């Protein structure tokens, strides 16, 4: 049976910044017939729930991993270290459990795949992955966004 990493908030864990889980018919369908390993990079990286919303400033997840961009919350607190730590923990869990892919929450600065918010906190999207999605992709995993 195929094993996938699944954003914990998609599996019913209320770990989003606002203390809620996320419903996604796409995630339910994508996880069907697979072994899903729920994981939340932001809480694994040391952030509390609820927490201030954060966005990537000056780039995307790849830029954060390469030290060219930062993750900052809406009060200006730099949470880059926690996001990078959470991404590495997600990769470690994915490897340890034999995940070949991941179904991740769309648009999150950690889990977003293909599009994320642009750092303005105005709801504006830009192309790019979140920090965890970028790291998993760099290690050959198939990452998919669940809206």
Provide, rounded to whole angstroms, the least separation between the CB of residue 101 and ligand SF4: 15
Q: Interface with ligand SF4 includes 8 (CB under 6 A)? A: yes
Q: Is 105 in the site for ligand SF4 (CB under 6 A)?
A: yes
From residue 66, alpha-carbon distances to 15, 60, 95 in Å are 27, 10, 21
Buried/exposed 41-59: b ≥16 CB within 10 Å, e otherwise: bbbbbebebebeebbbbeb
Q: Which of residues 32-91 bind ligand SF4 (CB under 6 A)?
A: 40-42
Kindly state the smallest distance separating residue 93's Cβ from ligand SF4, in Å.
Answer: 12
Element (H, E) at 97: none
Q: Which of 4, 7, 72, 82 binds ligand SF4 (CB under 6 A)?
A: 7
Shortest distance in whole angstroms from residue 136 CB to ligand SF4: 12
Number of residues that bind ligand SF4 (CB under 6 A): 12
Residue 106 touches ligand SF4, criterion: CB under 6 A? no
- Measured distance CA(27)–CA(90) in Å, rounded: 18
DSSP state of 9: G
């Amino acid at each position: 049976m195929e094993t996938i990493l699944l954003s914990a908030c998609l599996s019913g864990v209320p770990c989003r910044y606002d203390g809620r889980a996320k419903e996604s018919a796409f995630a339910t369908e994508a996880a069907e017939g697979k072994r899903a390993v729920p994981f939340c990079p932001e809480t694994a990286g040391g952030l509390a729930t609820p927490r201030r919303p954060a966005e990537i400033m000056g780039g995307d997840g790849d830029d954060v991993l390469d030290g060219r961009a930062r993750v900052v919350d809406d009060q200006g607190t730099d949470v880059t270290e926690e996001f990078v730590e959470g991404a590495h923990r997600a990769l470690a869990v994915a490897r340890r459990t034999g995940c070949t892919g991941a179904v991740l929450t769309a648009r999150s600065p950690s889990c977003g795949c293909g599009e994320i918010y642009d750092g303005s906190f105005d709801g504006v999207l830009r192309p790019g992955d979140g920090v965890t999605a970028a790291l998993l992709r760099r290690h050959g995993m198939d990452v998919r966004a669940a809206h």
